Amino acid sequence: MTRRLGWVVAALAAAVLGGCGDDDPPVGCDVCPPQPTEYPDRSSPQNVLEDLVLSYQNRDSTEYKALYDTSYVGTSTNLNDPPVSQVSTFRFSDEVSHIAALAKSPTIVSVSLDLGARSSWTRLPSDDVTHPDWAQIQLPTVHLSLIDGPSAYEVHSSNPMTFRFTPRVDSSSPTDTLWRIVRWDEIGP
């Protein structure tokens, strides 16, 4: 009987002290590691965008970096700026630095990226004659919010935003193809 009671006490102690299992973490568990995020495979451009949302919100620099082709170029055009400075250009290294800064910041409380419902995304064929294998997805709206300490920032674009994707043969993909973001364009007001 004493031995059985010892096993029960040991099992209870392990359950209480072990804390962070597959179930919800116990109240007061402030040392629990974050649960790993299940990212979609990159077998379609749509999955890449869903992965982009998750990895950006999680500030997962490793996953986010893997979504971009190293030849990536993004452009943002603000028609309210003077003609000489209307276009801002972003490269692969800019995206990598951006997500790394978000990941390292101890004051950022939350990041939210909303690309709209997947059903609102328009899949288009390539518009680049030199890359007919590329795919495009046009998004009607994008909403980004970030809480950094006591400050909150929001960006809402009601103009279409276009992502272009390049395919790469990869036998680990269910479709034998993995996609990466190679271009991004937006035109502001």
Domains delineated in the chain: 45-187 (3.10.450.50)
Return all residues near 65 (Cβ < 8 A) that are at least 6 apart. 95, 96, 99
For residues 110 and 102, give the distance between their C-alpha atoms in angstroms, rounded to a whole number. Answer: 10
**Per-residue pLDDT at 189:** 66
What are the structure tokens assigned to 89, written together? Answer: 């250009």
Token representation of residue 62: 């490793």
pLDDT, tens digit (0-9, with 9 covering 90-100), for 66-91? 999 999 999 998 888 887 788 899 99
The answer to whether 121 and 49 are in contact (CB under 8 A) is: yes
pTM over 0.85: no
19: tokens are 């804390």
For the cut 70, the answer to whether the pLDDT of residue 111 exceeds it is yes
Helix (H, G, I), strand (E, B) or coil at 90: strand
Residue whose C-alpha is closest to residue 52's, from 69, 43, 65: 65
User: Which pLDDT band, with edges at 50, 70 and 90, does 2 fall under?
Assistant: very low
Beta bridge partners of residue 89, listed in sequence order: 75
Q: What is the pLDDT of residue 167?
A: 96
- pLDDT, average across residues 152-173: 89
Predicted confidence at residue 35, as pLDDT, reads 59
Query: Does the structure show a pLDDT above 50 at 125?
Result: yes
Q: What is the mean pLDDT of the chain?
A: 83
pLDDT of the residue at 127: 93
Mean pLDDT of 139-149: 92
Chain position carrying tokens 């400075």: 85
Tens-place pLDDT, residues 7-50: 333 333 333 333 444 445 455 555 444 556 799 999 999 999 99
**Cβ contacts of 42 within 8 Å, gap of 6 or more:** 48, 51, 66, 67, 173, 178, 179, 180
From 38, 40, 14, select the one nearest 26 (Cα to Cα): 14
Tell me what pLDDT residue 27 has: 54
Band of pLDDT at residue 131, cut at 50, 70 and 90:
very high
Q: Supply the pLDDT for residue 144.
A: 92
